[in-house]
Structure 1
Amino acid sequence: MYLLLMFFMSCVQTALAVNALEIQGHRGARWVRPENTLPAFQYALEVGVDTLEMDTVVTKDDRVVVAHDPYLNPQICLDKNGRRIKDGILIRSLSLAELKTYDCGALVHPRFRQQTPVPKTAIPTLDEVFALAAKSSAGRRVRFNIETKIELEHPEYTPDPDRFVDLVLKVIRQHGVVERVTLQSFDYRTLKVARRREPKLNLSVLMDKRPKVPLADVAREYDATVVSPRYDWLTEKDVRELRALGLRVIPWTVNDPIEARKLIGWGVAGLITDNPAEMIRLARVRDESLVRPRKPESGDRSH
Structure 2
Amino acid sequence: MSRLRSVEIIAHRGASRDRLENTLSAFRTALEQGADGIELDVHATRDGMVVVHHDPTVQVSTPIGVSLADAGASSHPTGRAPTQATSLPVSAPLSPHRPEEIAIAGVSYDELCNVTLRNGEHIPSLDAVLDLVAGRATVYVEVKGAAIEEYVVQCLARHPNTATAVHSFDHRIPHAIGALAPRVPLGILSCSYPLDIGHMISSAGARDLWQHAALVDQALVDAARTAGARVVVWTENDVAHAVQLVGIGVAAICTDLPGPMRSGLAKAGLVRPGPENPAQA
TM-score by length of 1: 0.74
On the 8 A contact 1:23/1:49 being kept in 2, the answer is: yes
Q: Distance in 2 between matches of 1:244 and 1:90?
A: 41
Alignment of 1:238-277 (within 5 A): 238-277=220-259
Which of 193, 196, 201 is residue 210 of structure 1 equivalent to?
193
Offset, 1:125: 0.2
Q: Distance in 2 between matches of 1:69 and 1:171?
A: 20
Is structure 2 residue 109 aligned with structure 1 residue 96?
yes
Q: Evaluate the alpha carbon distance shift between residue 99 and residue 243 of structure 1 in structure 2; reply closer, same or farther with a 3 A threshold.
A: same
Which of 127, 132, 142 is residue 147 of structure 1 equivalent to?
142
Offset, 1:190: 1.4
Q: Distance in 1 between matches of 2:161 and 2:210?
A: 21
Q: Which residue of 2 aligns with 1:230?
A: 212
On the 8 A contact 1:78/1:102 being kept in 2, the answer is: no
Q: Evaluate the alpha carbon distance shift between residue 288 and residue 216 of structure 1 in structure 2; reply closer, same or farther with a 3 A threshold.
A: closer
Q: Distance in 2 between matches of 1:87 and 1:184?
A: 30
Offset, 1:55: 0.6
Between structure 1 and structure 2, the one with the greater Rg is: 1
Deviations 1:240-272 (A, max 9, x none): 332344421001111122321221221200111
Is structure 2 residue 220 aligned with structure 1 residue 199?
no
Q: State the secondary structure of the residue aligned to 1:287.
A: coil
Q: Which residue of 2 aligns with 1:126?
A: 126
Q: Distance in 1 between matches of 2:56 and 2:244?
A: 34
Q: State the secondary structure of the residue aligned to 2:27.
A: helix
Percent sequence identity over aligned pairs: 30
On the 8 A contact 2:174/2:204 being kept in 1, the answer is: yes
Higher helix share: 1
Q: State the secondary structure of the residue aligned to 1:88.
A: strand
Q: Distance in 1 between matches of 2:150 and 2:43?
A: 13
Is structure 2 residue 81 aligned with structure 1 residue 86?
no
On the 8 A contact 1:78/1:103 being kept in 2, the answer is: no
Q: Evaluate the alpha carbon distance shift between residue 103 and residue 81 of structure 1 in structure 2; reply closer, same or farther with a 3 A threshold.
A: closer
Higher strand share: 2
Name the count of aligned residue pairs.
242
Q: Find runs of 4+ consecutive structure 1 residues off by over 3 angstroms.
A: 81-85
On the 8 A contact 1:71/1:87 being kept in 2, the answer is: no
Is structure 2 residue 180 aligned with structure 1 residue 167?
no
Q: Distance in 1 between matches of 2:139 and 2:85?
A: 33
Deviations 1:86-136 (A, max 9, x none): 3632111121122112222x2xxxxxxxxxxxx3200000010011122xx
Q: Evaluate the alpha carbon distance shift between residue 289 and residue 63 of structure 1 in structure 2; reply closer, same or farther with a 3 A threshold.
A: closer
Amino acid at match of 2:54: H
Q: Distance in 2 between matches of 1:83 and 1:166?
A: 28
Amino acid at match of 1:206: L
On the 8 A contact 2:265/2:271 being kept in 1, the answer is: no
Q: Evaluate the alpha carbon distance shift between residue 225 and residue 83 of structure 1 in structure 2; reply closer, same or farther with a 3 A threshold.
A: closer
On the 8 A contact 1:22/1:51 being kept in 2, the answer is: yes
Amino acid at match of 1:91: I
Q: State the secondary structure of the residue aligned to 1:229.
A: strand
Deviations 1:110-167 (A, max 9, x none): xxxxxxxxx3200000010011122xxxxx23111001103xxxxxxx4x2xxx1110
Amino acid at match of 1:132: L
Offset, 1:194: 1.1
Q: Which residue of 2 aligns with 1:296?
A: none
Q: State the secondary structure of the residue aligned to 2:234.
A: coil
Q: Which residue of 1 aligns with 2:20?
A: 34
Alignment of 1:71-82 (within 5 A): 71-72=57-58, 74=59, 80-82=82-84
Q: Distance in 2 between matches of 1:78 and 1:46?
A: 33
Q: Which residue of 1 aligns with 2:262?
A: 280
Kindly report the root-mean-square deviation, in angstroms, between the aligned alpha carbons of the 2 structures: 2.1
Q: Which residue of 2 aligns with 1:189?
A: 172
Amino acid at match of 2:242: A
Offset, 1:279: 1.0
Is structure 2 residue 37 aligned with structure 1 residue 51?
yes
Amino acid at match of 1:47: Q
